[in-house]
């Protein structure tokens, strides 16, 4: 079909390389005007000042030499700087100076070396423009025929297409042999069910809310209005994998004026006198949502700017997140410490396929 488009233009395909070869190919919808300008050829060579004036040539030559010598000085300077500006443990200025002077020395070794070589090429080496002919990328007809013959011979001598059983079973074997490698990736992770793991956290009935990072339990009376506490479950340090647990169990504890809280009926018992606890892990892709504004009651995620309204069960008011931050139901134990009533009632953090299943 492409052939049809170019009835009037293919003959005039100008300087296309294919003209050297035996085959002509379609120029598609290209147009070549019959009275197009012709290439005037290379303009005459213009000599440089260094070609004409021996004094300038000598000066350029000296410049290159000086640049290379400067580079040697730079290398030596770098070695000296390495020794003269040692790092004194704990002294930040010494690190700064070591980095600075060692770096400047190496810079001095490199840049004049490069500039010298380029300057040499530009001013002293031949400035004549050279012309090299191109050849069509495709092989010549003879070469292509020879290649085809080799494949035919290979086929005949091996019987690849004739011996169908061998060919098909070979293709089958090649297709199957990488499968064990894929199976072997299973043990990249332990033999547990990830879905169950993602759905529960360390929080449990009676787990005390503790300060991050000290682990000191928090009394309800400690949390004054306008406060925000960064919370971990008590005993986190004793967990098998504290960071894995913390990545799910991190909680933000805030106290609002109880009149500012709009609580759903079924969650009225989840807060304590205006104190509410919400998962700190963003329901978008899991950054810690920790930017709390005490008057607007907004929580902002610094990674993708999802905004949650603490006064309304952390519903999303802006940004890419869809779900509210999960709330941790809290109560106060006999000693006045804040405790969890249970684990979260839904999986924390980013959504995953089996989340609601």
Partner 1 sequence: MTTTTTPAAASTTVTEKPVGKGMRFTNAAANYIDERTSISGLVKELGRKIFPDHWSFMLGEVAMYSFVVILLSGTFLTFFFDPSMSHVTYNGSYAPLKGIEMSAAMASTLDISFDIRGGLLMRQVHHWAALLFIASIGLHMLRVFFTGAFRKPREINWVIGFVLFILAMAEGFTGYSLPDDLLSGNGLRIIDGMLKGFPVVGTWISYLLFGGEFPGLVVIPRLFVLHIMLLPAILIAALGVHLLLMIINKHTQFAGPGRTNDNVVGVPVMPVFAAKAGGFFFVVFGILVLIASLFQINPVWNYGPYDPSPVSAGTQPDWYIGFADGALRLVPPGWEFVLWGWTFSLNILVPVAVLGLFIVMVAIYPFIEAWITGDKREHHIAERPRNAPTRTAIGAAGVTFYGVMWAAASSDLMATHFRLSIEGVIHTLQALLIVGPIVAYFITKRVCLALQKKDREIALHGYESGRIVRLPGGEYVEVHQPLSEYERWRLVSYEDYKPLMLRPNDKGKITVGMRLRASMSRWFFEDRVSPATKGELEQGGHH
Partner 2 sequence: MGIDSTTTDRRGKRAGRRHPLASVALILAGLVTTGGAYALFTSTATAETANTAIVHQQLVDEGKALFDANCASCHGFNAEGTAEGVSLHGVGAAAVDFQVGTGRMPMAAQGPQAEKKPVQFSDEQIEALAAYVASLAPGPEVPDESLFEGEADLANGGELFRINCAMCHNVAGSGGALTEGKWAPSLMGVEAKHIYEAMVTGPQNMPVFNDLNLSPEDKADIVAYLKFMEESPSVGGIGLGNLGPVSEGLFIWIFGLGAVVGVTVWIAARAH
Using CB under 8 A, which residues numbered 13 to 72 contact partner 1? 13-18, 20, 25-33, 35-37, 39-43, 45
Residues 86-105 contacting partner 2, CB under 8 A:
92-93, 95-96, 99-100
By CB under 8 A, which span of 5-13, 122-130, 156-164, 259-267 interacts with partner 2?
A: 122-130
Task: Give the one entry of partner 2, partner 1, none that residue 142 binds, where binding means its C-beta sits below a cut-off of 5 to 8 angstroms depending on kind.
Answer: none
Structure tokens at 214: 């000290």
291 makes contact with partner 2 (CB under 8 A)? yes
CB–CB of 228/292 below 8 Å? yes
The HSE-up count of residue 352 (CA atoms within 13 Å, CB side) is: 13
The HSE-up count of residue 11 (CA atoms within 13 Å, CB side) is: 3
Q: How far is the CB of 61 from partner 1 (least distance, A)?
A: 14
Q: Nearest 10 degrees: CA dihedral of 201, 205, 208, 213?
A: 0
Q: How far is the CB of 116 from partner 2 (least distance, A)?
A: 13
Nearer of residues 18 and 222 to partner 1, judged by Cβ: 18
Other Cβ atoms less than 10 A from the Cβ of 106: the count is: 17
254 makes contact with partner 2 (CB under 8 A)? yes
Closest CA to 283 of 323, 231, 318: 323
Q: How far is the CB of 173 from partner 1 (least distance, A)?
A: 26
Residues 65-124 contacting partner 1, CB under 8 A:
82, 86-87, 89-90, 95, 98-104, 106-107, 109-111, 113-122
Task: Give the one entry of partner 2, partner 1, none that residue 198 binds, where binding means its C-beta sits below a cut-off of 5 to 8 angstroms depending on kind.
Answer: partner 1
Among 17, 25, 48, 311, the residue binding partner 2 under the rule CB under 8 A is: 48
**Rounded distance between C-alpha atoms, residue 150 and residue 162, angstroms:** 17
Residues 311-330 contacting partner 1, CB under 8 A:
316-323
259 makes contact with partner 2 (CB under 8 A)? no
Sign of the torsion angle spanned by Cα atoms 28, 30, 34, 38 = negative
Contacting residues for 209 by C-beta, under 8 A, at least 6 apart:
217, 218, 229, 231, 233, 234, 251, 253, 277, 330, 337, 338, 339, 340
Per DSSP bridges, beta strands 330-332 and 209-211 are unpaired
Structure tokens at 124: 């002293």
Distances (CA, A) of 181 to 170, 247, 298: 19, 31, 49
**Rounded distance between C-alpha atoms, residue 350 and residue 133, angstroms:** 60
118 makes contact with partner 2 (CB under 8 A)? yes
Nearer of residues 237 and 244 to partner 2, judged by Cβ: 237
By CB under 8 A, which span of 6-14, 119-127, 196-204, 343-351 interacts with partner 2?
A: 119-127
**Rounded distance between C-alpha atoms, residue 58 and residue 44, angstroms:** 26
Among 130, 184, 265, 334, the residue binding partner 1 under the rule CB under 8 A is: 130
Binding pattern for the stretch 300-329 against partner 2, x by CB under 8 A and - elsewhere = x-x----x----------x-----------
180 makes contact with partner 1 (CB under 8 A)? no
Q: How far is the CB of 157 from partner 1 (least distance, A)?
A: 29
Q: Which residue shows structure tokens 């609580």?
A: 263
Query: Using CB under 8 A as the criterion, which residues of the chain lie in contact with partner 2 when the complex forms?
Result: 48-50, 92-93, 95-96, 99-100, 118, 122-123, 127, 211-215, 218-219, 222-230, 237, 254, 288, 290-296, 298, 300, 302, 307, 318
């Amino acid at each position: 079909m492409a052939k049809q488009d170019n009835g009037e233009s293919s003959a005039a395909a100008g300087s296309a390389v294919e003209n050297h070869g035996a085959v002509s190919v379609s120029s598609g919808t290209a147009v070549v005007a019959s009275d197009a300008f012709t290439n005037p050829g290379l303009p005459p060579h213009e000599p440089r000042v260094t070609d004409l004036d021996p004094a300038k040539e000598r000066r350029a030559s000296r410049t290159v030499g000086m640049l290379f010598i400067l580079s040697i000085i730079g290398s030596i300077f770098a070695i000296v700087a390495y020794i003269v500006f040692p790092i004194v443990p704990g002294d930040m200025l010494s690190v700064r100076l070591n980095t600075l002077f060692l770096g400047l020395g190496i810079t001095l070794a490199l840049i004049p070396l490069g500039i010298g070589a380029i300057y040499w090429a530009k001013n002293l080496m031949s400035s004549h423009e050279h012309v090299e002919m191109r050849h069509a990328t495709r092989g010549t007809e003879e070469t292509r025929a020879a290649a085809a013959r080799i494949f035919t011979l290979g086929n005949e001598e091996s019987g690849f297409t004739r011996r169908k059983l061998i060919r098909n079973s070979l293709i089958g074997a090649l297709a199957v042999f990488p499968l064990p490698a894929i199976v072997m990736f299973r043990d990249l992770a332990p033999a547990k069910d990830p879905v169950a793991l993602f759905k529960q956290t360390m929080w449990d009935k009676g787990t005390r809310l503790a300060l991050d990072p000290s682990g000191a339990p928090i009394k309800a009376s400690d949390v004054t209005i306008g406060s925000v506490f960064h919370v971990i479950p008590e005993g986190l340090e004793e967990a098998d994998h504290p960071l894995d647990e913390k990545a799910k169990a991190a909680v933000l504890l805030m106290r609002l004026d109880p009149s500012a809280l709009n609580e759903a009926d079924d969650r009225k018992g989840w807060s304590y006198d205006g104190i509410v606890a919400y998962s700190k892990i963003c329901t978008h892709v899991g950054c810690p949502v920790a930017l709390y504004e005490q008057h607007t009651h907004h929580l902002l995620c610094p990674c993708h700017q999802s905004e949650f309204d603490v006064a309304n069960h952390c519903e999303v008011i802006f940004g890419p997140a869809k779900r509210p931050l999960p709330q941790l139901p809290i109560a106060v134990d006999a000693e006045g410490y804040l405790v969890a009533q249970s684990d979260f009632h839904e999986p924390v953090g980013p959504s995953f396929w089996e989340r609601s299943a």
